[in-house]
Structures are given as C-alpha cells and as structure tokens.
Amino acid sequence: LHGYILQKGIIFYEDRNFQGRSYECSSDCADMSSYLSRCHSCRVERGCFMVYDRTNFMGNQYFLRRGEYADYMSMMGMNDCIKSCRMIPMHRGTYRMRIYERENFGGQMYELMDDCDNIMDRYRMSNCMSCHVMDGHWLMYEQPHYRGRMMYMRPGEYRNLMNMGMGNMRFMSMRRIMESYN
C-alpha cells in the first residue's frame, strides 16, 4: 500500500456472520447506500463509532466499540439498515458537560464531570432539555441506568434537544465515552 499501513476502523458487511460485500470506513460517512445495499454485521477493529439508521447521522443511534457484531441488526433491534456512521474521536483529559432543565439553557443547571446514571435521583431533575458539552464526548440515554435510545453528544451547545430528530425523547442518564484506541 505504497509504504503505509492502513488503519481500519469499522468494516460493514451486507450479510450476517461477516459475509457478502463489505465496506471499510475509518471516518464519518453520511450515506452508506452507495457502498452497500444493506448491513447485517460489522466488525470494529479500532476506535468507537456511532451508527445511524438514517442518512446524515439522523434517526436511531447505536454505539459500537471494538468487537465483532455477527448479527448486529437483530441484536440491536434495528428496524432498518445502517445508513450512516460517525467515528468518535479519542479524548484524553477531563470531561465536562452542563445540563439544563429547560431549552435555551433555562431552569436548573448542573455541571457533570463524570457519569450520571439517574438525573432524577442525583439532581431532582425530571428532564434535561438543553446542554453544553465543554470537554469530551458523551452518550445521553432516555432512561435511567444507561438504557433506552441514546444520543451522541460532541463538544458544543445544544439549545433544544427535542429538535434533534429524536421525537419526544427525554434524557435521564449520561455517560462519558472512554475507550482506548489500542
């Protein structure tokens, strides 16, 4: 390969058990339909990825770390094919996120530097409607104890989480994405 080693990230396969046509990806891909007609298994060789069941990083999201997913579609209960994927950059250092009770950073505010398995128990918040991710990459979940649908949050301001294409999803727990790339 012209003197360099290809650092693969994730390999998608059309069929279960890593069979059929494949597509290798080591960065973001907004529309996988031009590479594969469907995706029933995948192998994460390096890093962490979010996969989405709609193009342009929309729809239901699923977090994948290094490992093999021989029958990914039925294991995760995906209704549809994986249509896009996003590589999660490695983060070394502190994690900081402010969560707000209301949209546009209104209502109660709490700053997190570690995982929170239940915002109701810890902060007496019944909902998180906006947030500001200052450091690190996070997963937010609709149910306590990191269950239910999830959303990947990169550093930035999120003024209204309800307008992010996930319907009336509420966020009740959040976890830092901490994964080595070895």
pLDDT digits (tens, 9 = 90+) for 18-35: 999 999 999 999 999 889
- Which residue, of 54, 88, 122, is where some domain finishes? 88
- Using the structure block, give the residue that is written with the tokens 């700053």: 111
Flag whether 1 is in a domain: no
Give residue 171's domain range.
96-176
- Which residue, of 67, 88, 109, is where some domain finishes? 88
Neighbours of 43 (CB within 10 A): 19
Order of strands across the sheet that contains 173-176: 84-88, 48-54, 58-64, 147-153, 138-143, 173-176
- 151 and 114, same structural domain? yes
144: pLDDT confidence band, cut at 50, 70 and 90? very high
Is residue 75 predicted with pLDDT exceeding 80? Answer: no
Flag whether 5 is in a domain: no
* CATH number for the domain harbouring residue 114: 2.60.20.10
Measured between alpha carbons, how far is 158 from 163 in angstroms, rounded to an integer? 9
How much is the CA Rg of the chain, to the nearest whole Å?
Answer: 17
- Exposed, middle or buried: residue 67 (CB in 10 Å: 0-12, 13-18, 19+)? exposed
pLDDT of residue 119: 96
Across 1-10, 20-29, 155-164, 171-180, least confident range: 1-10
Q: How many domains does the chain have?
A: 2
What letters, b where the CB count within 10 A reaches 16 and e where it falls short, cover 47-58? Answer: bbbbbbbbeebe
Is residue 134 predicted with pLDDT exceeding 50? Answer: yes
- 65 and 124, same structural domain? no
Task: Take residue 21 and report the two structure tokens written for it.
Answer: 């046509």
Backbone angles phi, psi at 11, to 5 degrees: -120, 125
In total, the chain counts a number of residues equal to 182
92: pLDDT confidence band, cut at 50, 70 and 90? confident
Whole-model pTM: value is 0.86
39 vs 74, which has greater pLDDT? 39
